[in-house]
Structure formats: C-alpha cells, structure tokens
Amino acid sequence: MSVNAILIAAGVVAAVGIFVGLFLGIAGMKFAVEVDEREEQVLAALPGNNCGGCGYPGCSGLAAAIAKGEAPVSGCPVGGAPVAAKIGKIMGVEAGDSVRKVAFVACKGDCDKAGSDYVYSGAQDCRMLSFVPSGGPKSCAWGCLGYGTCVKVCPFDAIHVENGIAVVDPEACKACGKCVEACPKHLISLIPADAKHVVGCSSKDKGPVTMKACTVGCIGCGICAKNCPAGAVTVEEFHAVIDQEKCTGCGICAEKCPKKCIQ
C-alpha cells in the first residue's frame, strides 16, 4: 500500500470524525433539554433510596415532580420532616407539619395463638398461598401467613417474621409502603408513629368463628366501643376500628378487651 493511499485514508477518517463531532454538537445544542436547577437541588436533598414509597419512579421522579409543583415538598416518606424542611427552603415554601408513619401488621395470631388446619410445605411466599386450600394452613383466613414476603421486599430490614407472624421494628421503618403492597392478605397499613392504641387483628368473621381460629382475634363484641369515653372505637363487620384522631390514649379499650387484641 502506498504512502498516498494511507494519507488519503487517514484524511477521510479524520474528516468523517470531524463531521460526526460537529453534527452531534449541533444536535446536542438544538435538542438539549433544560433542567431546572431546583430539580437537581431537590434530588441532592433526597435520601437516594429509590424505594418508590413516594409513588414516583425513584428519587429522580419525585424531584422532577416537586420542581414542577406536581408533588408536595413533604412527598418523601423516608426523609420525613428533616428532608421536607430542606426541600421547602429550596422551593421557597413552607414544608408544614408532617406526621411520621410506620407500618403496622394487624395480626397477633402467632404460632401459639392461632390454629392450623394442615401442614404446608410448598413455596415460602405468601403470594403463592392463594392457590392452596383456604388460602393457607392457618385456621384464620384473615391472619398473617408468616412466610416473609414482606420481609423480602423491605429495603430497610425493618420487618421480620417472629413465631409465625410479621413484626415491624418502628425505629427502622421508613414507611416506604413496599410491605403494604406485597402483603396478599392486606394486613399491613401505614399508621401514625405516635398512635396510642391499635387493633392487632383483621378478622371480619363472626365471634364464634374467630374464637375457634385464634385466641387473640377480635370477636366484634363491642365492649371496647361501649367503654371508650372519646367515642374513638367503632365496630365494623365484626371488627373493632380505632379512629386515631379521636383516640386520647386512655387505654380503657385495651383494658376492657376480653381477647386482648388491642395493643
């Protein structure tokens, strides 16, 4: 191959490279997307867990929504009030008071208190038990199955199975909501961290049915509701419900409950 051929080939390659570089540079300027500086600042203030508990696809999605005014500055459940205050300063608005929440498992029927109808030895995943008889081996069709699907999805190691039921560590919980979505029995909900009393049962069966299945199940007797001086307790579908806004924390409902399912 002659020297001229080599020089020509090198020149062509260089020319193509320059052309492509200029083309990409011009295209980049023409189609550049302007990024709100506040969005980047908000993203930097977020904890970066990308848990999705805010309802957006990760922290970047929430940051974009806050910058556009589509989400509140307190939209991050993991960051809580401190992060909300930082973002509020960035956005020039008041963060407002935010109530810290934690996950709560409405079931106290562990292996010592709830009965079993049969021995299950299949997949250790609560979601798979919808395919087995009665939705699982527990005598209570409403109770925690205890196979840890919620444990597997928790990014903060805040929930563990203890003696057959899921138990939340309120100090470690960031209220991301992943366990709430994962529970096929819908036993887990987010409640105020300072809730005084809660009902540790989700059964909506009539009293006699519940008593056969679990020794600490709510039987819907209404004693708690009749004795609550604040009118914070009601019975709906054979199940006691506590209105946290009305509850004063006097503890009479827990004291009077014959099944001790209020904790």
Which range among 69-78, 147-156, 217-226 shows the weakest confidence by mean pLDDT? Answer: 69-78
How much is the average pLDDT of 198-224? 95
Structural domain count, the chain:
3
Dist CA 104 CA 251 (whole Å): 19
- pLDDT (tens digit, 9 = 90+) per residue, 44-70? 888 888 888 887 888 888 888 888 888
Who contacts 29 (Cβ-Cβ below 8 Å, separation ≥6)? none
Residue 130 shares a structural domain with residue 155: yes
Q: Among the three residues 134, 159, 193, which one is the final residue of a domain in this structure?
A: 193
For tokens 């819908």, name the residue.
186
Separation of CA 1 from chain center: 69
Last residue of a domain, one of 29, 64, 91: 91
Residue type at 239 in one-letter notation: H
Is 24 contained in some domain? no
Averaged confidence pLDDT in the chain:
87
Q: Identify whether residues 132 and 159 lie together within a single domain.
A: yes
DSSP for 169-236 reads -TTT-----HHHHH-TT--EEEEETT-S--B-----S-HHHHHHHBTT------HHHHH-TT--EEE-
pLDDT at 126: 92
Tell me the pLDDT band of 29, cut-offs 50, 70 and 90. low
In this prediction, residue 132 carries a pLDDT of 87
Mean pLDDT of the region 109-117: 94
Query: What was the pLDDT predicted at 100?
Result: 84
DSSP class of residue 34 equals P
Residue 26 lies in a domain: no
pLDDT, tens digit (0-9, with 9 covering 90-100), for 76-106: 888 888 888 888 888 888 777 677 889 999 9
Confidence of residue 232 (pLDDT cuts 50, 70, 90): very high
Confidence at residue 81, expressed as pLDDT on a 0 to 100 scale? 83
Residue 1 placed within a domain: no
Spacing of C-alpha 58 from chain mean position: 14
Domain endpoint, select from 52, 68, 91 = 91
Report residue 87: phi and psi, to 5°: -65, -35
150 close to 159: Cβ distance less than 8 angstroms: yes
Boundaries of domain holding 140: 99-193
- pLDDT band, very low/low/confident/very high, at 187 (cuts 50, 70, 90): very high
Instruction: Look at residue 183 and tell me whether its pLDDT is greater than 90.
Output: yes
What CATH code is carried by the domain that includes residue 204? 3.30.70.20
